[in-house]
Chains A and B, each alone.
Chain A
Amino acid sequence: MYGNGYVDPENKITNSITANEDPIKLAEFESRIAAGDKIEPMDWMPAEYKKQLVRMIEQHAHSEIIGALPEGTWITRAPGFRRKLALMAKVQDEVGHGQLLYSAAETLGKSREAMTNDLITGKSKYSNVFNYPAKTWADSAVIAWLIDAGAIVNQLANSKGSYGPYCRALDRICAEESFHLKYGHDNVVFLATGTPVQRAMVQDALNRWWEPIMHFFGPPDKESIHSETLMRWKVKMGSNDDMRNMFLDMYVPKIWDLGLTLPDPNLHKNEETGRWEYTEPNWEVFKQVINGNGPCNKERLAVRRKAEENGRWVRKALAKPTEKYVTPLS
C-alpha cells in the first residue's frame, strides 16, 4: 500500500541533474526508455535516476511494513474466524510486498540493513496515512478497501515505469492487492448493509479517514516537487492530482451507492471537465504528520525498533561468519 503522500523535505531535485553525465550514454539511456525498454540493475544509469529510485522504492517498502501495523491491530479482534484468517493473509501479503520491494531497492546497491536503519531512525519516510490509528473494526475495513484502492491506482501506474526490478515486483504486488480490495469492499458492504449501529460505525470510520485518504496522493501539483526529467525517465508516472482524480472517479460513486456520505460538501464531478472538484484537505496537517507529529508516528517506529531488537537473537543463532554480501541480481 503506497501513495505519493510521503514527500521528503530533504529531497531537493536540482535543475541540472544531468549536468555531470556522459552525454552519449545519457542519450542511449533516454532513447531506451522512450522506446519502452526497461532498465536493468547492471545497465548504465544517471546518478540522479538511481538516487530517486532507491528513495522511492525504499519508501514504498517501508510503507508496506509500517502499513501492516495498523491493520495487524485488528487480527486478534476480527469478528469471526474467516475474517481473522483473511486479515492475517492480507497482513502477510503486505509484509511480503515489503520484502519484494526491499529486494528491488537492493539491486541499486543499498543494503537491507541500511534501509532498516534509515527507517527506524526516522531518516526515511513512509506513507503518511499509516500514522493514523485504526480505532474500530470499521477502520480496518475502510483501510483495506479504500487505502488499498488508492495504492492500486498508484502502483498500476508505477508498474509501467522504467526500472525492471521495480516493475516486476509491482506486477506481483498488484495481483495480490486485488484480493485486498475485494476483501475490504466485502467488509465495508457488510457493515453498510447491516444494522443501524454497524452503518454508523462505518460512516464514522469514513469521516475520520477521508482527509488522510485525500492526503494519500500527495500535495496538489502546483505545490509538489515536480520534475520533467523524472517523468521523462519514467520514474514518476503521473501527477498527484491525476492519481487522486482517478481514485475519486472510481470509488466515490461506489461509496455513495451504499448510502454513505463523505465529509466534504463541495465534492462533485464537474461533468464538463470530467474532473472531480473538492475542498483541498488541510495540507498543514499533512506536513505536521509527516514531520513526526501525527497520532501514531512514535508508536509505529518504536514497535518496529522493538521487533528488530526481539528478532536479533534468532538471526545471531543462524548467522555464519563466512557470509559475504552480494547485490541481488534482478
Chain B
Amino acid sequence: MNIISLDPRVTRSHIDENTQEGIANPLEHFQTYEVFEQKKRGTHHIHVGSVHAPSAEMAVIFAKEQYSRRGQCVNLWVVKTADVFATEYEDSDIFDTISDKTYREPEAYKVIDRIQAFKERQKAN
C-alpha cells in the first residue's frame, strides 16, 4: 500500500509503506576527508571535523555546506583521513617537558639582577 501523507511530496512519490529498498553497501557513502577551516586571513587553519566524499573537490563542496554555512571563513583545506599520520595518545609522554628545559623559555633569563649587582659594585669601587 502506498503512503498517503500530510506532505503532498511524499504522497506524490508513491512509496510502498513496506518498501525494502535502500540498504547501503560497504563504502557506498565514500571515504572521509578531514576539514580545516581558516576563519580570517593571517590566522591558522583549524581542524573542524570530517566529511564523506568521493573526491577532494566534492569534499570541499560538502565541507563548505557543513562547516561554513554561517560565520566567517576565507579558506578551506581537505585532506584524506587515510593520509593523516598521527601520534598515539599512549605515547603522549614524548611531549612532557623535563624540569631543566627552562633554557627554552624567556623567563629563564634574568639579566636585570645581574646588571643591578654590577652597578652597585661599580659604585662601591
**A residues adjacent to B (C-beta < 8 A):** 40, 42-44, 69, 72-73, 76, 92-93, 96, 99-100, 103, 106, 111-113, 116-117, 120-121, 133-135, 168-169, 172, 176, 298-299, 302-309, 312, 315, 318-320, 323-330
Contact = CB atoms under 8 A, between A and B. Distances in A.
Interface string B42-85: 00000101111011001000000110011000000000111010
A113 B26 contact: yes
B69 A328 contact: no
24 contacts: A40-B89, A42-B86, A92-B65, A111-B26, A112-B24, A113-B25, A113-B26, A113-B27, A116-B29, A120-B23, A133-B6, A168-B49, A302-B16, A305-B21, A306-B15, A306-B21, A308-B21, A318-B30, A319-B30, A326-B81, A328-B34, A329-B50, A329-B86, A330-B49
A103 B27 CA distance: 14
B24 A329 contact: no
Contacts of B93: none
Interface string B4-18: 011111100101111
Contacts, number: 132
B23 A328 contact: no
Contacts of B51: 99, 103
A176 B8 CA distance: 29
A171 B13 CA distance: 37
A330 B29 contact: no
Nearest 9 pairs of A and B residues by beta carbon: A308-B22, A305-B22, A318-B54, A309-B21, A73-B7, A113-B24, A328-B50, A326-B82, A112-B29
A303 B86 CA distance: 40
Given A117-B23, A308-B22, A323 B30 contact: yes
B9 A315 contact: no
Given A40-B89, A112-B52, A323 B31 contact: yes
Contact of B27 (A40, A43, A303, A325): A325
B52 A305 contact: no
B88 interface: yes
Given A116-B24, A308-B21, A76 B66 contact: no
A252 B78 CA distance: 45
Given A117-B24, A308-B24, A103 B15 contact: no
B28 A304 contact: no
A44 B26 CA distance: 26
Contacts of B34: 328-330
B31 A325 contact: yes
Contact of B7 (A72, A92, A103, A169): A72
Given A73-B7, A92-B69, A96-B69, A329 B15 contact: no
B34 to A, nearest CB: 6
A106 B69 CA distance: 23
A303 B69 contact: no
A298 B31 contact: no
B24 A299 contact: no
B89 A43 contact: yes
B121 to A, nearest CB: 50
A44 B88 CA distance: 11
Given A73-B7, A302-B19, A318-B55, 17 more contacts: A100-B49, A106-B32, A112-B24, A112-B52, A120-B23, A121-B23, A169-B49, A172-B49, A303-B10, A305-B19, A308-B21, A308-B23, A315-B28, A319-B54, A326-B31, A326-B80, A326-B82
Contact of A96 (B27, B65, B82): B65
A325 B15 CA distance: 32
Contacts of B7: 69, 72-73
A311 B90 CA distance: 41
A40 B88 CA distance: 10
Contact of B19 (A40, A172, A176, A306): A306
A310 B69 CA distance: 26
A134 B21 contact: no
A305 B23 CA distance: 8
Nearest to B29: A112
B66 A96 contact: yes
